[in-house]
Chains A and B, each alone.
Chain A
Amino acid sequence: MSAGAVGRAYPRLEGREKVTGTARYAVEYPTDGVTYGWVVPAAVVRGRITRVDTDEALASPGVLAVLHHGNAPRIAPGPQPELWLLQEPAVHYRGQFVAVVVATSLEAAREGARLVRIDYDTGSHSTVLTDDHPGLYKPEHVNPSYPTDTVEGDFDAGYAAAPVRVDATYRTPAYHNNPMEPHATTARWHDGRLLVHDSTQGAAPVQATLAELFELPRESVRVIAEHVGGGFGSKGYAKAAVVLAALAARHVDRPVKLALTRQQLFGPIGYRTPTIQRVRLAADADGRLTAVCHDAISQTSTIREFAEQTAVYTRSMYAAPHRRTTHRLVRLDVPTPFWMRAPGECPGAYALESAMDELAIAAGVDPVELRIRNDAAVDPDQGQPFTSRNLVACLREGAQRFGWAGRDPTPRARRDGRWLVGTGVAGSSYPARARPSSASVTARPDGSFLARIDATDIGTGARTALWQVAADALGVPPERVEIRIGDTDLPVAPLAGGSMGTASWSWAVVRACEALRGKLRAGAPPGTEVSAEADTTDEVGGQPERPRYAYGAQFVEVRVDADTGEVRVNRTLGVFAAGRVVNPTTARSQLIGGMTMGLSMALHEEGLLDERYGDWVNHDLATYHITGCADVESIEAYWLDERDDELNPAGVKGLGEIGIVGTAAAVANAVHHATGVRVRDLPIRLDKLVGLSGLA
C-alpha cells in the first residue's frame, strides 16, 4: 500500500449531511401510504396471555389493525427465540412485545396501544441475580465460543503459599446500551419481496434473519442501513423492531414505520448483564503474580443462553504460573442479555484492574510498575507469542503524559479545598479479530473509482476509513474514489461489531482493489467500466491462529467532595496500541467515546430492578443516567505508532471497544486514592462516599 490517505486526518464523508439534517435514518425516508406501528409490552413477568381484547383499540380513529399471537402472520422459529414475536401466548419476561397496533398516524397508533386490553395467567418469577442462586449452572461455552472454565497450574496451592494476597468481590449492575437513535424500521412488501430501512449494525445479518423467519430466499429481502444512530452492540443482529415492522407491513399490506420508544429499549433489545465477580490474586513480595483466579457470575433468560465472557479478559492479560477462570450463569425470568460495548472485557477489566490496584497497595508497589512487572511475554492462556503486545509501552507513555511520577500512594493525602484528589490507573486490552468479507471496486472511464461493500457506519467513521484504504490500495488520491456502504444489494460483509469492522472490510476492499489493478494492467478497452470483486473467506479462514490484541493504559484524576461524596473526574488520559490508525480524527473520537462510556459506567449508569415487577424501574434517560457534556472536563486519547504485519492488509486492530475497557477501574482506583474508600459495586454513587470528612 502506498503512503497516502491512510494515517491522514479527514473529516467524515457524511459530515455535511449530518450537520444539515439531510442524513436519513431508518424511519426518515419518504414513503407513500405509510402507516405507523406502536408496540405493546407485556405487563407481567411470566405467564400466558388468556385474552386479547382489541375492540376498543380498533374502534379508535385511525387504527388499522392490532397484531397479536392470535392473528399475526406466522413466521418460522429462527435461531433467536426472542425474535419469534407474536407467535405464542407465553410471556417469558416483563416488557416482552406481545402486540403491535398499526394506524394511520403516530398519535392514533399510540392511543390504540393504550386501548389494547390483555389478560394473563401469571406464575411466580425469579429476576434477581445472586451468588447463591439455586439455578446457577455451568454453560457449555461463553460468548462467542470461549471455554467456560480454564485451569493452569494449581491455583489453590499457589494462592495459599503466597505472601501477598487479595480476595475481593466486585459487582456491576445491568447496563443499557441506549444509542441515541432507538431501534427503528421502515418495512414494506412488494410482490413477495421485503424492503426494510433498519437501524442496525449489520444489514446482512438482518437480511439473513428476515429471510429465515419469513421463509424467503435471501435475495427477496433487501436491508438498507445508510446512517445508523449508534448501536454499541444493541443493534448487532436483527432485533424486535425490524421483525415487528415486517409482520405489521405484511398484515396491513402497507408500508409500516415502527420505532421503539426509549422506555422499550430497556430490556427487550438486550442489555449488559449484571455481574458478580470474585477475583483472587496472589503475589510474591515484589508484586509478581503467582496465582490468579477470576470467578464470574452473570444471568441469562429462560428462552436463550447468552453467557457473558466476563473472566476471559483475565486469561491473557497478566502472567502467573497458577491460574483459574470460571463462568457460572443463572436463567432468570428476564429479557436475554446481549452485547454492549466490549462484552466480557469491559466488566471483567473493572474487576481485574481494581484487584490489581488492591494488590499494588498490599505489595507496596506502584500500580503502574506492578502491571509492568506482570507483563506477559507469551499469551498466558494459549502459550503462543502475541503478534504484538505494547501494554508496557502504553503504561510508560501514559504515565509520562499524565505526570504519574512521584505520586504519593497514600490515600487521602491530597486535598484541594473541599475536594479530596486522587489518581488511578488501569490496563486495557481487546481482541483484534477479522471476519470474512467481500467487496467490489469499479474503474470508471472518467478516471474515478467506485468501491462497494455492505459495511455499516454506526458513527465509527467506517465509511471514511474504507474510502481512505481504497484510495491507497488503488494508488490514487481519495478524491477520485466514491464509496457506497449500508445496503444488502452491495457485496456481503460482516456487521460492525467486536472491533472487527474495519479490519474485516478493509481486507476485502484492499483485495478487490488489487484485483482491479491487475485487470487494468492487463489492459481494458478504453471508455468502458472495469470491475473486480474479492472475497476474503479463504484468506481469513486460513490465517494462523495467534493471540492478537490491542492494548491500552488509562489514567484518571478525580476529586471527591469531602462532605457530599460527589465525584468529579478532572482528567482522563488513555494511550493505546491498536495497530495502524487509518484516520486520526475518527480514531480519537472512537477512543474518547469509549472512555467516556467507561466514565459513565463508573459513576452514572445503573439499571435498578424492582423484584416485584421483574423490570428496571429507571427505564428512561431522566432516571437512567448517562454521562453528559458537563461531566467530561478533560479527556485525551493517544496512540503508539504500532506496526503489526500479522493482522490484516491494512494493519488495523480496531478501536471501537478498547476505550471502555479498564476506564471504570481507573476511576474506582482514583476514588480509592482520593478517599481511602474502595468501591467494589458500581456505580460509585455519592451515598457510598458521603460523610468522608467525618472518617478517621
Chain B
Amino acid sequence: MRGGPENETTTDERHSSRVAFEVNGDRRELTLDNRTTLLDALREHLGLTGAKKGCDHGQCGSCTVLLDGRRAKSCLVFTVTVDGRSVLTVEGLAGPDDLSPMQAAFVAHDAFQCGYCTPGQLCSARGMLDEVARGWPSAVTEDLDSPPELTDAEIRERMAGNLCRCAAYPHIVAAIRETATAP
C-alpha cells in the first residue's frame, strides 16, 4: 500500500475490536482501532467533545470522565478495556432541563475562564465528592480514623490533578464547597 486516497483503511481487522459500553446512560457499540483511547473514542467517534485533550498523557486532567462512577483520565484508558463498563461525561451531568447544582455553581462562581479544563474539573469534582463520602483520605487528611471533613484544604488537594492555566482555582473550590454543603 502506498498512501494516497486508496489507503483509506485505518487498520486491518486483526487490530480492531468490537466494544460495547454505556455512555451517559446510552448503550454504544463501536468497532475501533485497538489503539483508540477512550478520550478519542468519545471525541472522534461518538461526537462527545466535552472531554478535552489538554496533554494526552494524563498530566492535566482535562479529559477526566467517570468510569463506573470513579474519576478516570480518559486519555490513559484504551477503549477496548471499557467493554461492558459505564462512562459518564460532562454531557451527561445536566438534567433534561436544568444544570446540575455543581454546573450551576461553576457558572455562578465564575469557576472557569477559557472553559477548556472545565468539563474535567466538573467530572473530577463529582468523583471527588463521592470519594469523600466513601471516607477515602487524601494526602492532607490528618485524622485517618474519622470520615474526612471537606475543608478547603481537602478540596484543593483532591482537585490538584486538574490543572487550570487561567487559574480559576479559588472559584472552583468555592463552587465545590457550595455544592457539597448545599442542603
Contacts and interface: CB of A to CB of B under 8 A. Distances in A.
Interface of A: 11-12, 14-25, 28, 30, 54, 57-59, 61-66, 103-108, 111, 178-182, 227-230, 232, 252, 259, 261-262, 458-461, 585-586, 588-590, 592-593, 595-597, 600, 620-622, 626-630, 632-635
Interface of B: 1-5, 7-12, 33, 35-36, 40, 43-44, 47-57, 59-60, 62, 89-91, 93-94, 99, 103, 106-108, 110, 112-119, 122, 153, 155-157, 159-173
Contacts of B156: 629-630, 632-633
Contacts of B118: 18-19
Contact of B113 (A30, A61, A460, A595): A460
Contacts of A25: 49, 52, 116
Contact of B163 (A24, A59, A63, A626): A626
Nearest to A58: B3
A585 B99 contact: no
Contact of A627 (B36, B54, B119, B167): B167
B49 A24 contact: yes
Contacts of B49: 21, 24-25, 28
Nearest to A585: B110
A585 B108 CA distance: 9
A595 B7 CA distance: 51
A23 B7 contact: no
Nearest to B2: A58
A22 B94 CA distance: 12
Contacts of A597: 165, 167
B167 A592 contact: yes
Contact of A178 (B57, B115, B165, B170): B165
26 contacts: A16-B99, A17-B115, A18-B118, A19-B90, A21-B49, A21-B119, A61-B11, A63-B7, A64-B3, A64-B4, A64-B5, A65-B4, A105-B11, A105-B36, A180-B114, A181-B114, A230-B113, A259-B53, A262-B56, A593-B113, A600-B167, A620-B59, A621-B60, A627-B169, A629-B162, A635-B170
A54 B56 CA distance: 26
A291 to B, nearest CB: 38
A62 B11 contact: yes
Given A16-B99, A21-B89, A588-B110, A107 B11 contact: yes
B7 A180 contact: no
The main secondary structure of chain A at its interface with chain B is loop
Contact of A262 (B55, B90, B112, B162): B55
B169 A621 contact: no
A209 B65 CA distance: 38
Contacts of B119: 19, 21
Contacts of A16: 99, 107
A18 B115 contact: yes
Given A64-B5, A107-B36, A182-B53, 5 more contacts: A20-B90, A61-B10, A227-B115, A629-B160, A630-B159
A595 B167 CA distance: 9
B29 to A, nearest CB: 18
A28 B107 CA distance: 22
B97 to A, nearest CB: 12
Given A14-B115, A230-B114, A593-B167, A106 B40 contact: yes
Contact of A19 (B122, B157, B165): B122
B33 A107 contact: yes
A107 B10 contact: yes
Contacts of B53: 182, 259
Contacts of B4: 58, 64-65
Given A22-B50, A227-B115, A180 B163 contact: yes
